[in-house]
Amino acid sequence: MAVDAKLLEYLSLPNYEPMTVKSLAKKLGYKKKVRDKVDQAVERLVTEGKVQVDPQGLVHPTNKSHALRGILRKVSTGNGYVILQEPKPAHLTEDLFIDRRDLGDAQTGDEVAVVLLKRRRSNGQQCGRIIEVIQRATNRFVGTYFEEDGQGYVFVDGKNYEEAIWVGDPGAKGARLDDKVVIEMIRFPTQYAVGEAVLIEVLGARGQAGVDTLSIIHEYGLPTEFSLEAVQQAAHLMEKFDEKNLEGRMDLTHDPIVTIDPATARDFDDAISLTETENGHFHLGVHIADVSHFVQPNTPLDRDAYIRGTSVYLPTRVIPMLPEVLSNGLASLQEGRVRFVKSVFIEFNPEGIPVDVRFANSAIKVRKRFSYEQVMDFLLHPENHPELEVAVSTLLLRMQKLARILRSRRFSRGALELSMPEIVLQFNAEGRVAGAEEAVNDESHQIIEEFMLAANIAVATELNARGVQFLRRIHPPPSPEKVQAFQKFIESLGLELPQAQSRESLQELLDQTAGTPLQRSVHFSFLRSLQQAEYSPEEMGHYALAADDYCHFTSPIRRYPDLTIHRIIDRLILRGEKYGGESYEHLMKAGLHCSETERRAERAERELKRLKLLEYMEQFIGKEFDAVVTGVEKFGLFCQCLQVPAEGMIHISDLSDLDQFYYDRDARCLVGKGTNLRLRLGLLVRIRIVHVDLDRRELDMKLVKLLESANEASPAAKIRKSPRKVPRNNSRKPAPAPRSSKNSSGNKRKRKK
């Protein structure tokens, strides 16, 4: 009998008492010369989740009936955390800590089974051990190829794999030194054994233009090619489209209708019309590309769109949900072209309260395509735009007026707004980053945001009133434990949040810290306290928007859930069918899939932006920047540059010139043992860029000097003295109508064989 089977048989005996590996070997009759086989067998069984070894070295059989489920996230130390799934024990209010020796071969993103251990960390956090990988997040990885001793190895990008993965024969697939390659894992690495993989694709030389984008596409498994059947179907739709055939559609082609999008937008799926009647009522038309007219259920286009779930907007490339003949052509609301739309008409009274909602299949011809910058310039200086026809300029001013009313009313209902600016990258002709800045969110953006929110709420409210099951966009409220943890964090900064459950108090705190050195820390911490928004048929409402019913209706070109809503409107409202929607089980499955594809796209977009920003920062090694401390951990400080929105870390060992520091968990700061110097969140500092590691995606900094006294009043105290109120509604009067006119460390990784 094999050693593994013999061990498992002995451990399953009813009278088995946990013992050391050495004692087990004796019990099973193995002599000293072959005892290493028992050690190796135990290591294999631990990796497979069939046995456990406790901190005292005693071997236990695994009891999977007591296991909990969750998603693993590994950190740079090699340890990990498991985010538990519901249902979970009530006493477990935070993630489980998993020591690296208890990980087995589980990797970041894997769904795992975990058992609780008796030990806890020094801060009281519960520890666990992974006993089984239920589902792998992926078995494909991207890394850098090298050779040693006649064998091929790959360092996987990121921080999850400290040691190289063996890929066998050198030069497989024509790989050369420092090429970026894709590998498929055959045996995942553990604490005891090296990983083994097969090399399946060479992406190109490390650092070559475009290879970073390909790396992220493969790392996140983003589908880039459409099926032949879908491409053929899209081409056929293009051939037979007749813009003159408006049968069954409301003809709005002569109405003043505009689009407002980013200057670099490639697809346009929403347009706006707006009139105001003598009684002060607004009649808003939100016109959304009628993708459901072209993409019918259970067709090749539909199947490909469902698999993708969403379009992915990478910094230098768009991976659309639909072939470009649709996403940039037939279904894109281009200026001066007749296009088919789903229209929702909402009538608001002068206070911005909706009093009527209607739907229609329509045809429009966009009168004018605007960028956000163009609209903002017009709103600030309407007199400088005599080229706009009166109908269009009047429409823009009317849109501004209604959007302000809706925005004011929305925040009075308790909607919340975080200030988490997006990073916008600028590129040169070679496709390399030439600059970076935080995105602007001015009134031109807010106008469109308000109208899209109003349309989504109106659609969801109508569907809910009709008793139909549909794919909602839900955002559950934060758990009491998360709220309490956020409140403690705020108090550690010297701020006050007396009513943590009060939306008014929360928004006042967010407003106070917006635009201050504490903005990123406070707003990001609040974001982490919230649950993730997702797609589901559950009637849970949307916490951040303070909406009882909400769905996504306004972007069917790039989001599959919106397409499902359009189909329901067609059948239930426009055709008058007796239709109760898809089954709850079907909607739950679709919601889980669409939520996951959305998160995958967000992670890929965020990671590629980060990678390209790091590539940009390489040229500044040795240069100094002013920065703000955005994170404090026991191992160092995280800082974000003020001139360029790049974040890096100052390791605690690099602070020895100032003092020897310890971490004050309650105050969230590093405290000098001799000087009592307090390095805290929001502190303004000057740093030097010392190292950029693109493979590990790290930026290392060195503290040059403090730009303010670390022992004077904290930023929180300054905020309390002079609170910054951010108005929820711009009270500036609308401009007069114009005259009539025609974006941890650099340690080397080990090469283990």
Q: Does residue 312 form part of some domain?
A: yes
Contacts of 379 (CB under 8 A, 6+ apart): 396, 397, 400, 443, 444, 735
Q: Is residue 464 part of a domain?
A: no
Name the β-bridge partners of 73: 81
Residue 673: its H or E element: none
Residue 737: pLDDT over 70:
no
Closest to 470 (Cα-Cα) out of 347, 594, 346, 355:
594
Domain presence at residue 106: yes
Q: What is the DSSP letter of 510?
A: H
Higher pLDDT, 486 or 75: 486
pTM surpassing 0.85?
no
Considering the domain architecture, whether residues 200 and 263 belong to the same structural domain is answered as no
Q: What is the H or E stretch that residue 595 is in? A: helix 584-617
Task: Read off the CATH number of the domain in which 667 is found.
Answer: 2.40.50.140
Q: Between helices 443-465 and 390-412, what is the axis angle to 10°?
A: 70
Q: CB-based contacts of 547: which residues, under 8 Å, 6+ apart? A: 415, 457, 460, 541
pLDDT greater at residue 64 or residue 753:
64
Region 734-753: mean pLDDT is 36
Count of other CB atoms within 10 angstroms of residue 242: 8
The mean pLDDT value of the chain amounts to: 88
Same domain, residue pair 164 and 121: no
- The rounded distance, in Å, linking the Cα atoms of 310 and 320 is 7
In DSSP notation, 268-316 reads --EEEEEEE-TTS-EEEEEEEE-HHHHS-TTSHHHHHHHHH-B-EEETT
Nearest to 207 by CA among 595, 611, 579, 582: 611
Residue 150 token pair? 């006649």
Average pLDDT, stretch 456-485? 94
Angle between helix 300-308 and 560-568 (nearest 10): 130
Q: Take residue 203 and report the two structure tokens written for it.
A: 């992406």
Residue 42 vs residue 301, higher pLDDT: 301
Query: For residues 336 and 115, which has the higher predicted lDDT (pLDDT)?
Result: 336
Domain count, the chain: 5
pLDDT band at 68 (very low <50, low <70, confident <90, very high): confident
Q: How confident is the model at residue 109 (pLDDT cuts 50, 70, 90)?
A: confident
Query: Strand, coil or helix: what is 599?
Result: helix
**Closest to 393 measured CA to CA, from 360, 370, 420, 419:** 370
Q: How crowded is the C-beta side of 103, counted as CA atoms within 13 Å?
A: 30
Q: Are residues 10 and 89 in the same domain?
A: no
Residue 562 in any domain: the answer is: no
Does pLDDT of 571 surpass 70? yes
Q: pLDDT tens for residues 424-466?
A: 889 888 788 899 888 888 999 999 999 999 999 999 999 999 9
Q: What is the pLDDT of residue 1?
A: 54
Check the CA dihedral 492-498-499-505 and report its sign: negative
- Output phi, psi for 286, to 5 deg: -110, 115
Consecutive H or E run containing 556: none
Quick check: 735 pLDDT over 60?
no
Residue 468: predicted pLDDT = 95
Written as six digits, the tokens of 643 are 């001139």
Same-domain pairing of 238 and 250: yes
Q: Could you give the CA distance from residue 564 to residue 582 in angstroms, rounded to a whole number? A: 10
- Check pLDDT > 50 for residue 742: no
Largest CA distance in the chain: 101
Residue 412 has pLDDT above 60, yes or no: yes
CATH code at 156?
2.40.50.700
> pLDDT above 70 covers what percent of the chain?
93
Please report which confidence band the pLDDT of residue 712 belongs to, taking 50, 70 and 90 as the band edges: low
DSSP string, 369-394: EEEHHHHHHHHH-GGG-TTS-HHHHH
Alpha carbons within 13 angstroms on the beta-carbon side of residue 308 total 30
Distance from C-alpha of 90 to C-alpha of 88, rounded to nearest angstrom:
6
d(CA 258, CA 558): 20
- Measured in whole angstroms, the distance separating CA 726 from the mean position of its chain's CA atoms is 26
User: Same structural domain for residues 419 and 273?
Assistant: yes
Instruction: Extract the tokens encoding 326.
Output: 């649709």
CB 472 within 8 A of CB 550: yes
Average of per-residue pLDDT across 183-197? 86
Specify if 547 maps to a domain: no
Average pLDDT estimate for 5-31: 82
CATH code of the domain in which 33 resides = 1.10.10.10
Q: What is the pLDDT of residue 54?
A: 73
Q: Is 334 exposed, middle or buried (0-12, 13-18, 19+ CB in 10 A)?
A: middle
User: What was the pLDDT predicted at 738?
Assistant: 36
Residue 736 is encoded by which pair of tokens?
């007069």
What confidence tier does 19 reach under pLDDT thresholds 50, 70, 90? Answer: confident
What's the CA gap between 443 and 406, in Å, rounded?
A: 13
pLDDT for 739: 31
Tens of pLDDT, residue by residue over 243-289, are 999 999 999 999 999 999 998 887 899 999 999 999 999 999 999 99
Per-residue pLDDT band for 622 (boundaries 50, 70, 90) equals very high
Q: Is the same domain home to 351 and 297?
A: yes
Q: How far is CA 258 from the centre of its chain?
A: 30
Q: Are 8 and 108 in a shared domain?
A: no
Average pLDDT over residues 647-672: 91
384 and 365 housed in the same domain: yes
pLDDT tens, position by position, 302-333? 999 999 999 999 998 999 999 999 999 999 99
Please check the confidence at residue 645 and state whether its pLDDT lies above 60: yes
Tokens describing residue 588: 């739950």
Confidence check: pLDDT of 94 > 50 = yes
**8 A C-beta contact, residue 192 and residue 43:** yes
In this prediction, residue 710 carries a pLDDT of 64
262 shares a domain with 148: no
42 and 98 within one domain: no
- Judge whether 339 lies within some domain: yes
Residues with Cβ within 8 Å of residue 364, at least 6 apart in sequence: 252, 253, 255, 257, 271, 287, 333, 338, 339, 341, 343
With CA atoms as reference, report the closest residue to 401 among 369, 453, 446, 459: 446
Q: pLDDT value at position 55?
A: 67
Which domain covers residue 47, as residue numbers?
3-61
Residue 679, pLDDT above cutoff 70:
yes
- Whether 593 is covered by a domain: the verdict is no
d(CA 251, CA 382): 30
414: left (phi over 0), alpha (psi -120 to 50) or beta: left
The whole-number average pLDDT for the span 548-566 is 97
Domain closes at, from 135, 163, 195: 135
Q: Report the C-alpha gap between 395 and 258 in whole angstroms.
A: 9
Rounded to whole angstroms, the Cα distance separating 540 from 432 reads 44
**Residue 748 pLDDT > 50, yes or no?**
no
Same structural domain, 245 and 286: yes
Kindly list the distances between the CA atom of residue 721 and the CA atoms of 506, 581, 628, 715, 718, in Å, as whole numbers in the listed order: 18, 55, 20, 10, 5
- By CB neighbour count within 10 A (0-12 exposed, 13-18 middle, 19+ buried), where does 437 fall? middle
Residue ending a domain, among 438, 469, 498, is 438
Q: Does residue 478 fall inside a structural domain?
A: no
Share of the chain above pLDDT 90, in %: 58
- Rounded CA-CA distance 433/427 in Å is 4
Examine residue 14 and say whether the peptide bond preceding it is cis (omega within 30 degrees of 0). Answer: no
d(Cα 618, Cα 300) in Å, to the nearest integer? 45
365 — pLDDT class (breaks 50, 70, 90)? very high
297 by DSSP, 3-state: which? coil
Residues in contact with 381: Cβ distance below 8 Å, sequence separation at least 6, in sequence order: none
pLDDT tens column, 369-400 = 999 999 999 999 999 999 999 999 999 999 99
Which region among 119-123, 472-476, 532-536, 624-628 has the lowest average model confidence (pLDDT)? 119-123
CATH number at residue 129: 2.40.50.690
Average pLDDT over residues 652-681: 90
> In the prediction, which pLDDT does 719 show?
59
Both 247 and 393 in a single domain? yes
Whole-angstrom Cα distance, residue 699 to residue 39? 40
Question: Of 135, 150, 176, which residue constitutes the final position of a domain?
Answer: 135
